[in-house]
Structure 1
Amino acid sequence: MDILFLILGFICLFVSILGSFLPVLPGPIISWIGLLLLYFTNAVPANYWILGITFFITVFLSVLEYIIPAKGTKKFGGSSYGIWGTNIGLIVGILAPIPFGFIIGPFVGAFLGELLYDSKNHKRALKAATGSLLGFLASSFMMFLVCVIYLGLFLAIVWQYKSELF
């Protein structure tokens, strides 16, 4: 049973790295589940400090994932219309059956939102949409980094208890 938990945990961590770029898959959450599965084994004693701290980081980043693109829009001069457009575009982009909709959606949403606010200022709308895109890329990079760190933590724990696991 330990090997099953180990394999499932590793699969979760691998999938979470993909999920750090695809908003459909919650990368850090899947990664944390992979760590949790490791502690379900009989060989690895439960470490509630590691699980608690990583859980807090996971929840915090999951919230930030939706805030950062909107903040990027605001930072680049976007209005509340652009922020709403970013959020609506993110949801539409995730649900739309187009490639890279999760990237295109917030960009187009911020652009259209800014055009609703001021239809004559295309430059400002494009700048706000660029801020949305940069915010998305920044949040994706943070998710990727955390997922890779969780994978490293997983591998370090497996290495530490390799004699009991195998």
Structure 2
Amino acid sequence: MDLLLVLLGFICVIVGIFGSFIPVLPGLSSCWIGLLLLYLTKAVENNYWVLAITFILMIIITILDYIIPAKGTKKFGGSSYGVWGTNIGLIVGILAPIPFGVIIGPFLGALIGELLYDSRNHKRAIKAATGSLIGFLASSFVNFLFSIIYLGIFLTVLWQNRALIF
């Protein structure tokens, strides 16, 4: 049973790493479930501190995934229309069955929002939309970085308990 939990946990962590780039897959939450499955084995002693801290970080980073693109829009001179457009575009991009919809959605949302705000200032609209794109890329990088850290925690705990698991 322990081997099955370890295998499922490892699969969850790998899916989480891919999920940091592919929004259809769960990202950091999948990595955390992988850690949880590892700690549910009889061979690994429960460490509630590790699980609690990684859970809190997962919640914070998941929330930031939705905030950072909007902040990027604002940082690059976007108005509240651009921020709203980014958020709406992110949701539409996730739900739309188009390739790279999660990248295109916030960009187009910010662009359309800014054009609604000021239809004559195309340069500002493109700058705000670029901020949205940079914010999304920064968010994906943070998600990937923490997914790799969770993989490291998983492999370290697995290595420390290898004699009891295998």
1:122 and 2:128 correspond? no
Partner of 1:70: 70
Partner of 1:29: 29
- Count of residues in correspondence between the two structures: 166
CA contact (8 A) 1:3 1:165 kept: yes
Map residues 1-166 of structure 1 onto 2, 5 A cutoff. Answer: 1-166=1-166
State the Cα deviation string for residues 115-136 of structure 1 (Å, max 9, x = none).
0000000000000000000000
Counterpart secondary structure, 1:42: coil
Paired residue type of 1:39: Y
Counterpart secondary structure, 2:119: coil
Distance in 2, Cα, partners of 1:62 & 1:25: 13
Paired residue type of 1:43: A
Paired residue type of 1:123: K
Root-mean-square deviation (CA, aligned residues, Å) is 0.6
TM-score normalized by the length of structure 1: 0.99
Distance in 1, Cα, partners of 2:26 & 2:2: 25
CA contact (8 A) 1:26 1:62 kept: no
Q: Per-residue deviation at 1:22?
A: 2.2
- Residue identity (%): 70
TM-score normalized by the length of structure 2: 0.99
CA contact (8 A) 2:15 2:26 kept: no
CA contact (8 A) 1:74 1:83 kept: yes
Structure 1: where are the runs of 5+ without partners?
none
State the Cα deviation string for residues 48-80 of structure 1 (Å, max 9, x = none).
010011001000001000000000000000000
Structure 2: where are the runs of 5+ without partners?
none
